[in-house]
Amino acid sequence: MKRMTMLLLLCMAATFAASPAGQKHVLVYKEAGRFGGWPANHGIWSWGDEIVVGFSAAYFKQMPLDRHQYDNTRPEEPRLARSLDGGLTWNIEAPKSLLPPEQGGATVTELKQSMDFSDPNFLMTVRYLDKDKGESLLFYSTDRGKTWHGSYKFPTFGMLGVAARTDYVIEGKHQALLVLTASKANGKEGRLFCARTTDGGLHWTKVAEIGDEPEGFRIMPSTVRLPNGELLTAARTHGPAETNWIDLYRSHDKGATWKMEAKPVASTGAHSGNPPHMIRLRDGRLCLTYGYRSEPFGIRARISRDQGKTWGAELVLRSDGAWWDLGYVRSVQRADGKVVTIYYFNDQPSTERFIEATVWDPGK
């Protein structure tokens, strides 16, 4: 009887937590005395096998194990990692033009010339300075991130604050939709909204709030546009009693209204969970990647074959993290169809964090 029960449990585990065949883990960035972290706070872009991803190079400091192991009295310096071979090897860049003013970057000004979103080498990043104060800046590049224009002031739309990360959908030469996190009524970040520009970023208009104001927080959206024009956005959600999951919203009218879908991920583990990243694969499927902050600590994925209405079994990209402090994924699909998922990771509870990538096959 015990043997039959064990076999049943093993079969159930295989159903809900499979691992893609042949995944490869690659070191992207590791530096003594530094905490490499949080790619989801920056952005990722790709052109075939050229990939650029942003992350923070904070200063390592041993802290209580329920906190990030970094010195929050010193700056998180922005970095870029660039691969020219589909994520197998990486070079680290630190463009001075991407520095915020307090780190020696350019003074904040108003954008005076329209951005051209149709430029194939265009990148844009919108980043908060302080989550509680809700101040955010915009930078853009026209040479694949080698140099940047900015920093430019980003509006708060009359709200208490906007804690922006990079999540945008290009809709035309001068039109784009940003999905963002705003402050709740209590001043803490926690609810979603979207904003649009039709003049290349000279002006932004708040389009709609996405969902209600949650008891905990709903932050860090990741948005895709479907072939029929619908928009889907996935978000990191924190609820009562340390429950953490991923919500999914759909818009049929270009972001004017949003309806909640079934949760694609019921749990992202403890410690306030982890943000998702959603991409549309070339064969039309959707791929959702995220970190998992309970044991076994690691990186996971789910795939939808029906435009986000239902999601397949959880795929475990890795489960060998030493501690909860990991994740914040960004993913792209490379030229041969494999997915490159970048995240921050650890191999001991109280040592430097580093950036790694997993190259994996999403199947057919």
Assign 97 to helix, strand or coil: helix
Please answer whether residues 235 and 218 qualify as being in contact, where contact means their C-beta atoms are separated by less than 8 angstroms. Answer: yes
Splitting the chain (364 residues) into consecutive groups of 10 residues, what average pLDDT does each group show? 38 53 92 98 96 98 96 96 98 96 94 97 92 82 97 93 94 98 90 98 98 95 97 96 95 98 96 97 97 98 97 97 98 96 98 98 92
Bridge-based pairing of strands 205-210 and 217-225 is: unpaired
pLDDT at 19: 78
pLDDT at 305: 97
Judge: domain 24-360, CATH 2.60.40.10.
no
Q: Give how far the C-alpha of residue 292 lies from the chain's centroid of Cα atoms, to the nearest Å.
A: 14
pLDDT at 122: 98
pLDDT at 14: 36
Assign 7 to helix, strand or coil: helix
DSSP annotation string for 206-261? EEEEES---SSEEEEEEEEE-TTS-EEEEEEEE-GGG-EEEEEEEESSTTSS-EE-
